[in-house]
Amino acid sequence: MNSQILVVDFGSQVTKLIARRVRENGVYCEIEPFQKVNEKFLKSRNFKGFILSGSPSSVDDRNFPKLKRKFFKKNVPILGICYGAQLITKILGGKVESCKKREFGLANLKKTKNSELIDSINFEKSNSKVWMSHSDSILKLPSDFESVASTDNSTNAIIQNKKSNIYGIQFHPEVTHTKKGKLILSNFLFKICSCTKDWDIKSLKNNLILDIKNKLKNNNVICALSGGVDSTVSASLISKAVGKNLKCFYVDTGLMRKNETLQLKELFKKYLDSKFKIINSSNLFFKNLKGITDPEKKRKIIGKTFIKIFEKYSQNQKSVKYLAQGTLYPDVIESVAIVGKKSLTIKSHHNVGGLPKKMNFKLIEPLRNLFKDEVRELGKELGLPHTIINRHPFPGPGLAIRVLGEVTKSRVKTLQEADYIFVEELKKNNLYHKIWQAFCVLLPVKTVGVMGDSRTYEQICILRAVTSTDGMTAETFKFDQDFLSKCANKIVNNVDGINRVCFDLTTKPPGTIEYE
């Protein structure tokens, strides 16, 4: 890649979005926390431009996050967004002050001077809407800077120093609410940084395969497959690079959806030119989960059981030097500890990748610079089937966290049958791909019902379906009532052990997507 942009992260909630927008423009981009952006790091790379992110901090804080003055003298174009613009101002001798009124939400941008940053953008009418979220504003510009656009509350909504190629924007061009945000970023990339569009999925695929070949040489590599899109795409890439030197293994926990292990076996056989082994461990998982009802205990037991199985399997892989993991970019980006508080653990997440800390393998993570939607594109480019690429996410602990209460083989079977009916109905009615995640949950309570002339006393099944972009927040999917009634009927009539079906209306927050 010739054109590389560095996003310097000061802890904003939307830093990742900046990187997405840059990549959407066909330009490769990375994020680094501000603490890491030192001379040594910058010398090792050849960035064509820097973007400074927003931050929850204020440049008036005693220990405000900053960059050395030298950083601003490199003759590489800089774009500061919100806090980034305030930091430019402060470091280069201007003045930032706390606003009398916090500016949050939409504002109208007025162009006051010409600038390459807003070149060829028509800010008339609704196109002038920009998204503001700040409590400080730029009061006095550093010398050689000028203001080129304003809003009612911010005289200096866009500032520039044309000679040094340094720009500052008070609003957020990376969020979709800013109508012309994408164009502003594209002006920065192409008109100011002279980047070329050389980030596309096809060349990415070829480059990644070449990199893997160079890295692995003739060494053997193992990969834990879960059937999810990340591990499958990373196995497929490695398989294309080293063929039979890749050994994939899949742990059958007994906690997968109906027929899933079988389907995955067929798919892997068809799409991976590598060795593939299923480790059937369902008895061990059920044994370890016996009598356990506490959600966190369940998760920890499942995590530990995975690790034990992995250790046992890997001890026999004497000739294997590398372990492949489907780690994605959002997992890699370090969150910047501005306030030093650790976020609360809501649930202890884990994937099949929850592997032992001490291992005799070197790691290979071919997707570590990619976002989820890029991985899906890559999967398509690799010829993987739609069914794998666009599957709903499935949690590492599997159905154990959807069978509330004790996890027994028979309760898992009951849930598998109900879930299968619900998901098949979604597919038949072209709803599956409109939904982020849909599944059934089995409650540990029984209610009375009547079937035929007999009294029943059975469990409750919950239908859950949500829309989301990243799983961090979620909305309930709005079904037609007839569709839900049909699913409820079908489940009660066909699944032993369930006599009542309910639909969950809870969004996230306050709920979580999964139940445990």
User: Is 103 designated active site?
Assistant: no
The answer to whether 295 contacts ligand XMP (rule: CB under 6 A) is no
Query: Per CB under 6 A, which of residues 329..348 are in contact with ligand XMP?
Result: 347
The answer to the question of residue 51 lying near ligand XMP (CB under 6 A) is: no
User: For ligand XMP, which is the closer residue by CB, 22 or 248?
Assistant: 248
Selected from 171, 396, 419, 488, the binder of ligand XMP by CB under 6 A is 396
DSSP state of 124: -
Nearest distance, CB of residue 380 and ligand XMP, angstroms: 21
Active-site residue flag, 386: no
**Cβ proximity to ligand XMP, 84 vs 396, nearer residue:** 396
Among 172, 350, 376, 411, binds ligand XMP (CB under 6 A): 350
393 binds ligand XMP (CB under 6 A): yes
**Any contact of residue 326 with ligand XMP (CB under 6 A)?**
no
Residue ranges with strand state E in 379-511: 437-451, 454-467, 475-476, 498-503
Q: Which lies closer to ligand XMP via its Cβ, residue 59 or residue 438?
A: 438
Contact positions with ligand XMP (CB under 6 A) in 417-456 = 437
Within positions 103 to 142, which residues make up the interface with ligand XMP, using CB under 6 A? none
Alpha-carbon separation of residue 499 from 256, 304, 436, 451 (angstroms):
23, 35, 27, 9
Quote the least distance from Cβ 437 to ligand XMP, whole Å. Answer: 5
CA distance 115 to 117: 5
The single residue among 49, 65, 397, 398 that binds ligand XMP, judged by CB under 6 A, is 397
Nearer Cβ to ligand XMP (185/399): 399
The catalytic residue among 32, 174, 425, 514 is: 174
Binding of ligand XMP at residue 227 (CB under 6 A)?
Answer: no
Query: How far apart are alpha carbons 366 and 374 in whole angstroms?
Result: 12
Answer yes or no whether residue 327 interacts with ligand XMP by CB under 6 A: no
Q: How far is the CB of 343 from ligand XMP (least distance, A)?
A: 13
CA 264/CA 228 separation, integer angstroms: 10
CB 108, CB 154: distance < 8 Å: no
Catalytic annotation, pick one of 29, 32, 103, 172: 172
70: DSSP letter: G
Pairwise CA distance, residues 386 & 380, whole Å: 8
DSSP per residue, 281-343: -HHHHHHHHTT---HHHHHHHHHHHHHHHHHHHHHT-TTEEEEE----HHHHSPPP-SS-PPP
Q: Is 391 in the site for ligand XMP (CB under 6 A)?
A: no
The catalytically annotated residue of 29, 32, 82, 514 is 82
Q: Which of 1, 28, 14, 5 is nearest to 83 (CA)?
A: 14
Is the CB of residue 350 less than 8 Å from the CB of residue 302?
yes
174 a catalytic residue: yes
Which amino acid is it at 157? A
CB 266 within 8 A of CB 227: no
* Identified binder of ligand XMP from the candidate list 7, 395, 442, 465, rule CB under 6 A: 395
- The CA distance from 55 to 59, in Å, is 10
CA dihedral sign of residues 292, 296, 299, 304: negative
The stretch among 35-43, 87-95, 199-207, 507-515 that binds ligand XMP (CB under 6 A) is 507-515
| 471 lines the binding site for ligand XMP (CB under 6 A) | yes
Residues noted as catalytic: 82, 172, 174
Contact set with ligand XMP (CB under 6 A): 347, 349-351, 393, 395-397, 437, 471, 508, 512-514
